[in-house]
Every structure is written in C-alpha cells, then in structure tokens.
Amino acid sequence: MDRWHWWNRHYGFLASTYTTIKGVTMENLTVLGTGVLGSQIAFQAAYQGKNVVAYDLNDEILAKLTARWEYLKPLYLRDLPEATPEKLDAAVRRIRTSSDLADALKDAEIVIEAVPEVLQIKRDTWARAGALAPAHTVFATNSSTLLPSDIADATGRPEKFLALHFSNEVWRQNTGEIMGHAGTNPQYLDTVAVFAEEIGMMPIKLKKEQPGYILNSLLVPFMTSAAKLYVRDVADVAVIDATWRRATGAPLGPFEIYDIIGMETPYNLNIQSEDPELREFADTLKRNFIDQGRLGRATGKGFYDYE
Ligand code: NAD
C-alpha cells in the first residue's frame, strides 16, 4: 500500500467530519520563499487553478524553479491518477515569479510564507509584506515550529494572520493545519479553510495554538529520537528505518522522512537546540550533507541515493 492509501485508510474519516463555509474564494496567491515547501505550495495551488506569484530574494534563486517544476511533474504523474502532462504545463503557466516584493504582492488575496524557520527572518519578511500588501490580503505562515502569536504583531494586521501548515509532498500528504492566535478573526480561519480545500488540502482546524500543531507535536519527538540514535552511532540509518517500518507497519523510517523534509529545516531547528547532541546532529547535517549537496530527495541524494 503506498503512503497516500495508507493515509486515507487511517485518517480519511477526518475529511468527512470536517465542514467548511463555502462561497468565499481567493484566486490570487503569493508565496514568499520558493525552497522545498514554497515551491510545492506554489505548484500545487497553480495545479488546482489558482493564479500564483512566487517571490524569493533574487532572480538567481527564482531561476532554479524551472528545475523544481521538472522534479515535481513526474511525481504528480506517478501519484495522481488525473494528472496529465498538459495539466502540469498549465500549472507552470499560472505561476509568475518576482523578486520585487511590492510587485509580488500587488494582486494577492492570500499570502503564504515559507521562508526559513528563523523567527527574525519571518518577522522581517512579514513586516515588509504587511507594509506593501493590499489591506484585504490574508496572511498565512507555513512555519513548522513557531506560533502565529510569535509573529502576528509584525504583520500590522494580526486579525488577518494565522498559520496554514502543509506537510512535505503536499500533493499527496495533503493536510492543511489551520491555527490562529488569540487575536485572529475566526472569519479568516474559515476563509483559509475554504482556500486550503480548493487547492486540494484536507483542512484541519486546531482549536488553540499548539507548538508544532498536531503533526509536528507527534513527529518532532520521533525525529529527535532518531537523531540521537544517529549521533550515538547505535545502528546504521538503514537498520533504524527498517526497524521502524517492520515493527509498526509504517511506510517510512525516520531517515527516509529526513530525506523528504530536506536537510535545511532540521539543520535550522537543531543548531538552535540547547541539547549538545542535537547541535552535533546539526553540525553533521551541515558538514556531511548540506555542504556536499546531499540536501535530500529533491536533489536525488540525502541519507540515501535516489534515481
Ligand atoms: P528552504 O530553505 O528549502 O526554503 C526557504 C526559501 O526561502 C529559500 O528559497 C530562500 O531563498 C527563501 N528566503 C530566505 N530568506 C527570505 C526572505 N527574507 N524572503 C523571501 N524568501 C526568503 O526551507 P523549507 O524547507 O521550504 O521551509 C520553509 C518553511 O516551511 C519553514 O518555516 C519550515 O518550517 C516550513 N515547513 C517545511 C517543511 C519541510 O518538510 N521542509 C514542512 C512543513 C513546513
């Protein structure tokens, strides 16, 4: 059973217990940051018919998106029965790139931010976006570990600010965790839930702020335990992964998941840790993986080599 079917078999019932308000649609999305997740969010939204502007720091970075689209297309064809080369090409045509923030934001109805998981970078990015975006534009962060309340005041429009958290490989691991802070107007939680559904996500609304949402409250301790097994050299990564898969029936072990996440986010998280073992893990990720171009599955190499 592939992971899509595994997910649906175990959690598909959530979709039927969740209701959203229909009728409020947002067609124009701007994505801030076009790395692992930003590129996937932009492509997925465009694939579902939205007009997308992809913003990043400079045109050199944006030029790499062509390769990202070519990486994503075969995965859509593999995983989504209705995907065709024509639909995927049409998605690419719906994406405009810009390294000029004012230009990138001028028509945005919703902005999703996927810049590095560093609080100051997020706050600076949102402060600039808040000053430039139209007043009606709704703001969502894809942060994995920060809280909306850490960032909200920087946006200048805290009532329209919330988190919409995607899971890597958004076209099939399609959860959209929606989490406001105390000052978010609930109307925007509903609007963003509708948008999430329209771009093919299963919207999951949290009742309150929770560091790591539902997914990472479960996943991060698991990945941290794997990092410690690695630093302590308890067993090879393939053995650790195989143990987890065989004993639980889960489709992937932790190091296979690291390869999907990509090395940058775990590096950024662990290098800030107070735990020396986790800082050592971050140093290893930098030295043996990031500096060697082994950035994860998206680059064909990580803990494992891929075709
Ligand atoms: P990444 O390093 O792959 O991409 C970050 C992108 O942001 C890069 O293209 C970089 O050039 C750009 N950037 C840097 N500073 C910027 C700025 N000031 N303005 C605009 N763009 C800027 O990181 P990622 O893995 O895509 O993670 C991005 C966010 O998504 C993080 O908050 C992370 O927690 C979250 N997230 C990641 C995953 C994952 O599996 N990688 C999953 C869910 C959520």
Find residue 179's DSSP bridge partners.
163
CA–centroid distance, 256 to ligand 1, in Å, is: 20
On the question of pLDDT at 1 being above 70, the answer is no
What average pLDDT is seen over the chain?
A: 92
Quick one: average pLDDT of 93-103?
Answer: 98
On the question of pLDDT at 86 being above 80, the answer is yes
CA–centroid distance, 56 to ligand 1, in Å, is: 10
Distance CA 248, CA 297 (A): 23
For the stretch 223-243, pLDDT in tens is 999 999 999 999 999 999 999
Percent of the chain exceeding pLDDT 90 equals 88
Where are the chain's structural domains?
3-205, 215-299
For the stretch 259-283, pLDDT in tens is 999 999 899 989 999 999 999 999 9
CA–centroid distance, 118 to ligand 1, in Å, is: 9
Answer with the residue of higher pLDDT: 144 or 55. Answer: 55
Residue 4: pLDDT band (50, 70, 90) is very low
On the question of pLDDT at 22 being above 70, the answer is no
Q: Which residues are CB-contacts of 218 (< 8 A; sequence separation ≥ 6)? A: none
On the question of pLDDT at 136 being above 80, the answer is yes
The model's pTM is: 0.82
Distance CA 76, CA 50 (A): 17
On the question of pLDDT at 88 being above 50, the answer is yes
On the question of pLDDT at 17 being above 50, the answer is no
Given a contact cutoff of 8 angstroms between Cβ atoms, the answer to whether 197 and 168 are in contact is: no
Q: Which residues are CB-contacts of 76 (< 8 A; sequence separation ≥ 6)? A: 47, 83, 88, 171
On the question of pLDDT at 218 being above 90, the answer is yes
Name the region of 268 (left: φ>0; alpha: ψ -120 to 50; beta: rest): alpha
Count of C-beta atoms within a 10 Å radius of residue 166:
24
Q: Which residues are CB-contacts of 200 (< 8 A; sequence separation ≥ 6)? A: 44, 47, 48, 170, 171, 174
Quick one: average pLDDT of 45-66?
Answer: 98
Q: Which helix (H) or strand (E) holds 147?
A: none
Quick one: average pLDDT of 106-110?
Answer: 98
CA–centroid distance, 249 to ligand 1, in Å, is: 31
CA–centroid distance, 143 to ligand 1, in Å, is: 8
Given a contact cutoff of 8 angstroms between Cβ atoms, the answer to whether 71 and 300 are in contact is: no
Q: Domain 3-205 belongs to what architecture? A: 3-Layer(aba) Sandwich (3.40)
CA–centroid distance, 164 to ligand 1, in Å, is: 14
Taking CB atoms and a 6 Å cutoff, what residues make up the pocket around ligand 1?
32-38, 56-57, 61, 114-117, 121, 125, 142-144, 166, 168, 261-262, 264-265
Q: Which of 141, 265, 295, 299 to mutate to test the pocket of ligand 1 (most atoms within 8 A of CB)?
A: 265
Quick one: average pLDDT of 76-83?
Answer: 97
Q: Which of 31, 115, 122, 174 to mutate to test the pocket of ligand 1 (most atoms within 8 A of CB)?
A: 115
Distance CA 203, CA 217 (A): 17
Residue 2 tokens, joined = 């592939």
Q: Which helix (H) or strand (E) holds 139?
A: strand 138-141
Q: Which atom of ligand 1 is nearest to the CA of 262?
A: 41
Query: Edge to edge, what strands does the sheet with 51-55 contain?
Result: 95-98, 51-55, 28-32, 110-113, 138-141, 161-166, 175-179, 202-205
Find residue 203's DSSP bridge partners.
176
Using CA atoms, how far residue 139 sits from 10, 114, 161, 211, 213, in Å, is 31, 12, 5, 19, 18
Residue 216: pLDDT band (50, 70, 90) is confident
On the question of pLDDT at 6 being above 60, the answer is no
Distance CA 200, CA 89 (A): 18
Q: Which atom of ligand 1 is nearest to the CA of 260?
A: 40
- Which superfamily, per CATH, for 215-299? N-(1-d-carboxylethyl)-l-norvaline Dehydrogenase; domain 2 (1.10.1040.10)
Residue 24: pLDDT band (50, 70, 90) is low
Q: Which atom of ligand 1 is nearest to the CA of 141?
A: 32
